[in-house]
Amino acid sequence: MLTGKIADIIAKAGHEVVVYQPVMDENITTTGSKLARVITRERDYEIGFNMMDAQADVWAMQEQSMSRMLSMVGKIRKLQVDNCHHQITDSKLMERLKSENFDLAVGEPFDACYYGVLARLGIDNYISILASSGFFNAFAGYFGIPSTPSFVPGMMSGPPPFTYFQKAKNFALNNFMGWWFQNNFIFPITEIVRKDLDENFDVMKYEEIFNSSKKGVILVSFGSVAQSYKMPEEVKKTFLETFAQFPDITFLWKYEKDEDNVALGYDNVITGNWLPQTDILAHPKLLAFISHGGMNSVMEASFAGVPLICIPLMADQFRNAQMAQYRKIGKKKVE
C-alpha cells in the first residue's frame, strides 16, 4: 500500500507513473494506487503449494515451531526465485516495460529481483523503499549504512539500553540475520538472474568490492561532463600506473565505456559506466574521493566526511578545490 501511495504522490506532482506488479498471490487484487497506470504479469506457472496454507504457516512464529517457520521461508524463497525467472525471461513483457523509457524506478528491496529487472531494462536511476518491513540491520550494508548493534536493536532483540551481555547477543543475532537473509533472499535471486540475464549480475556488487579490499576503496569520478573515456591515453596510463603502486587499495573508477577494458591487467582497479556515488561515499571503508571538484561532488563528500583529492578541470572547480583545501577537507592537486 505504501508503494501505491508514493505512486499517487508522484502522479499528483504531474509525472506519468506506471505501477508494475508481477502477480504471485491471486488473492491480492490491488496495487494501492488510484492514479497510476498499472502493468501486471499474471502468474503462469505452478508454485506447488496453496498460498492460503502458506499464510497459515505465519502462525508458526507464535507457536515457536521451527519446522513450520523454515517451511514458510522455503516456500517464499522458491516463489520469489520462480517469479523472478519468469519475469526476466518474458521478452515480450520486458520489451513493453523498456519501451516506457522510465526516468526513475521505485521498488522494494525485500524482493531482490527488483534489481534484476532494473538491469534487464537498463534503468540506472532508482530508489529502494522498505514497504513491507521496518529497516533492520540485515539491510544496512546494501545501502552503505553502518551497522551499530551496540545500541540499535536488531529484528530479534529487545529494546535498549543494553547490558554488555545484551550488546554481545545483539551483535551475534545481527550477524546471523544478515547471513540468513542473504542466503534465503539475496543469493538465490542473484544466481537466477545471472543464469537468465548476465553472469556478472550481483545484487551486492559494491558491498563485495568493499569487503574484498584489504585496506579500503578510493572512488574516482570526474562527473558527467568530463567523461573518463575521453581522457588522453597518456593520462589514463598515468592514473593506472599510479593506482598499481597501491595494490592493497581498490580503486573504483567511473569509466563510461566498458568495451575499452581500460583496467585490464590492473587487479586493484574496477570500472563502471555508472556508479551510485552517494551510496559509495557513505560506506565506512571508503578512504578518499578523487574528483574534478564539481560542487555536487564536494558537497556530497563533505556530508559523508570523505577526504577529497581534487583535480579541477574548468569553471568553478578550481575555486571549489581551493575551498576544500582551505577547509582542510581535501587537497588540490593541480596548480
Note the pLDDT tens digit of each residue in 66-93. Answer: 566 666 777 778 888 888 888 888 888 8
Q: How confident is the model at residue 59 (pLDDT cuts 50, 70, 90)?
A: very low
Task: Say yes or no to pLDDT of 137 above 70.
Answer: no
- Percentages helix, strand, coil for the chain (3-state, rounded to 5) are 45, 15, 40
Place of cell 517464499: 76
Beta carbons within 10 angstroms of residue 329's beta carbon:
16
Q: Under DSSP, is residue 271 helix (H, G, I), strand (E, B) or coil?
A: strand
Res 268: pLDDT: 85
Residues 243, 247, 252, 257: is their CA dihedral positive or negative? Answer: positive
Question: pTM, whole model, 2 decimals?
Answer: 0.58
Res 206: pLDDT: 72
Mean pLDDT of 294-313: 84
Q: How confident is the model at residue 12 (pLDDT cuts 50, 70, 90)?
A: very high
Report CA 136 to chain centroid distance, whole Å: 15
CATH ID of 209-332, from 1.10.3980.10, 3.10.20.30, 3.40.50.2000, 1.10.3720.10: 3.40.50.2000
Task: Say yes or no to pLDDT of 100 above 60.
Answer: yes
Give pLDDT tens digits for 197-246.
656 555 556 777 777 788 888 888 887 767 777 778 888 888 888 888 88
Q: How confident is the model at residue 147 (pLDDT cuts 50, 70, 90)?
A: confident
Quote the CA–CA distance of 87 and 95 in Å, as a whole number: 11
Q: How confident is the model at residue 328 (pLDDT cuts 50, 70, 90)?
A: confident
Domain spans of the chain?
Answer: 2-141+181-199, 209-332
Quote the CA–CA distance of 181 and 190 in Å, as a whole number: 13
